Amino acid sequence: MSATLVAVLAALALGLVATAVVVRDMRRRNMHLWLGDYLRRRAPVATDRPVHVMFCFVDHFEPMWKGADLETQRRRVDRWCAEYREMAGRHRDADGRPPQHSFFYPEEEYAEEHLDKIAALCGDGFGEIEVHLHHDNDTEPNFRASIGRFCKTLHEKHGALPRDPETGQLRFGFIHGNWCLDNSRADGRWCGLNNELILLRELGCYADFTLPSAPSDTQTAAANRIYYATDDPHAPKSHDHGDPVKVGGGTRGDLMIVQGPLGLNWRERRLGVMPRIENADIRRNCPPTEARVDLWVKTGVHVEGRPDWIFVKIHTHGTQEHDIDTLLGEPVDAMHRYLESRYNDGVRHVLHYVTAREAYNIIKAAEAGEQGDPGQYRDYLLPAPRSSWIGGRRMRGA
């Protein structure tokens, strides 16, 4: 055997080993679930108009994380209420509004004193309260009772959640604990309801904000999309695919799914070789760098037919001590400075800080074919909840 042939065979063998390692790593991180849609999806069509960036920060806000005692819970909530005001108060978007934080508060962790404080923060113009839930092996009657009771409590005691102007029903955004929307874990844990999308719609949910959940196996095949999912009550993970929200399309299916950016970050590689999964999560070990912000905007999540209105939805777990310095300190402060300098020049980009509810309203305005500045559509269908005050005055809504 010639030396050349040996070298070729050695190179082939090395290539096969490298391929096997890459494939194994991809499956370990469940990238096979969503990579196809990510690679097939085209970037938004270039436009000669300014691109409006709707920036939405959603928080799985869990004061009782790891079974914390009451004093620890209070320290977590008090720190947020004090330091978020200070940090967010230094920033403004194109509409003169500070960053908006959507507090998805767990039903099973309800404590009146914590919600009173968060509602006061929201009342000062810094965000809104929505619904979060961790459950396991649940039943339909219990789910209906739990969500219905919690929505009523949030509205009546804390001024949260709007009423639908047409039906009077309380409406809410939803994030599923443990990422398991519609019983989507392969082992069936942490949900139990194959008809959860139907139940959420009937209970008043206007949209789900759980995704992306990569590298969890709950991640859907659909990536970087805003779409309507239709529930199959006899099967899990019905939101794996859906019909895109598009201009002139109208409501279809059972529930709108609003996804955050998901992709591959080649600029911040693991061990300098493998791309990191960009899943829009903000923590101490994955701070919101300028490279990540650029990637979120470049992903261009949008309503089909409105590529100049893009939605950047990022998420965190805000009360975990090892991450709070990142969320309330310099890393997120710098993120907002970069957003306001790079994506708010009024010529190429216009920045809008939005709550989950406001993002939904602007999505529906785009779907209806509305034109102009999307900031005017923050209350397009659903008004602001009663807790939305500025400077002690009722801002809007009922």
Residue 194 CB neighbours (<10 A): 19
Cis omega (within 30 of 0) on the bond before 215? yes
Q: What is the pLDDT of residues 65-91, one digit of tens each?
A: 999 999 999 999 999 999 999 999 999
What CA–CA distance (Å, rounded) separates 369 from 344? 24
Pick the closest to residue 250 from 276, 228, 223 (CA basis): 228
What CA–CA distance (Å, rounded) separates 97 from 201? 31
CA dist 389 → 117, 126, 243, 340 (Å): 14, 9, 36, 24
Helix ranges (DSSP H) in the chain: 3-28, 35-40, 70-88, 112-121, 140-158, 196-203, 290-299, 321-328, 330-342, 356-367
Beta bridge partners of 51: 349
What CA–CA distance (Å, rounded) separates 160 from 173? 11
What CA–CA distance (Å, rounded) separates 54 from 377? 12
Element (H, E) at 228: strand 226-229
Kindly compute the dihedral angle of the four CA atoms of residues 335, 122, 207, 309, in this order, to the nearest 10 degrees. -40
CA 13 to chain centre: 43
Kindly compute the dihedral angle of the four CA atoms of residues 348, 351, 356, 362, in this order, to the nearest 10 degrees. -50
DSSP 338-371: HHHHHS-SSSSEEEEE--HHHHHHHHHHHHTT--
Q: What is the per-residue pLDDT for 5?
A: 59
Q: What is the largest CA-CA distance in the chain?
A: 86
Domain ranges of the chain: 51-394
Q: What is the per-residue pLDDT for 11?
A: 52
Q: What is the pLDDT of residues 9-45, one digit of tens each?
A: 555 555 444 444 445 555 667 899 999 999 988 766 6
Q: Phi and psi at residue 306, in whole multiples of 5°?
A: -130, 65
Q: What is the per-residue pLDDT for 18?
A: 40
Positive/negative CA dihedral, 336, 88, 301, 103: positive
Q: Which residue has the tokens 């993120």?
A: 335
On whether the CB atoms of residues 100 and 128 are closer than 8 A, the answer is yes
Instruction: Give the tokens for residue 183.
Output: 């019983």
Q: Which residue has the tokens 């990540």?
A: 292
What CA–CA distance (Å, rounded) separates 395 from 103? 19
On whether the CB atoms of residues 226 and 244 are closer than 8 A, the answer is yes
**Which fold does the domain 51-394 belong to in CATH?**
TIM Barrel (3.20.20)
Burial 327-356 (b: 16+ CB within 10 A, else e): bbeebbbebbebbbebbbeeeebbbbbbbb
What CA–CA distance (Å, rounded) separates 196 from 199? 5
What CA–CA distance (Å, rounded) separates 364 from 24? 41
The 3-state DSSP class for residue 110 equals: coil
Element (H, E) at 393: strand 393-394
Beta bridge partners of 175: 132
Q: What is the per-residue pLDDT for 275?
A: 87
Q: For each of the chain's 398 residues, which pLDDT tens digit applies?
A: 677 755 555 555 554 444 444 455 556 678 999 999 999 887 666 678 899 999 999 999 999 999 999 999 999 999 999 999 999 999 999 999 999 999 999 999 999 999 999 999 999 999 999 999 999 999 999 999 999 999 999 999 999 999 999 999 999 999 999 999 999 999 999 999 999 999 999 999 999 999 999 999 999 999 999 999 999 999 999 999 999 999 999 889 999 999 999 999 888 776 666 788 999 999 999 999 999 999 999 999 999 999 999 999 999 999 999 999 999 999 999 999 999 999 999 999 999 999 999 999 999 999 999 999 999 999 999 999 987 644 333 333 33
Kindly compute the dihedral angle of the four CA atoms of residues 247, 252, 258, 262, in this order, to the nearest 10 degrees. -80
CA dist 144 → 130, 168, 199, 230, 290 (Å): 16, 18, 7, 19, 42
What CA–CA distance (Å, rounded) separates 302 from 325? 31
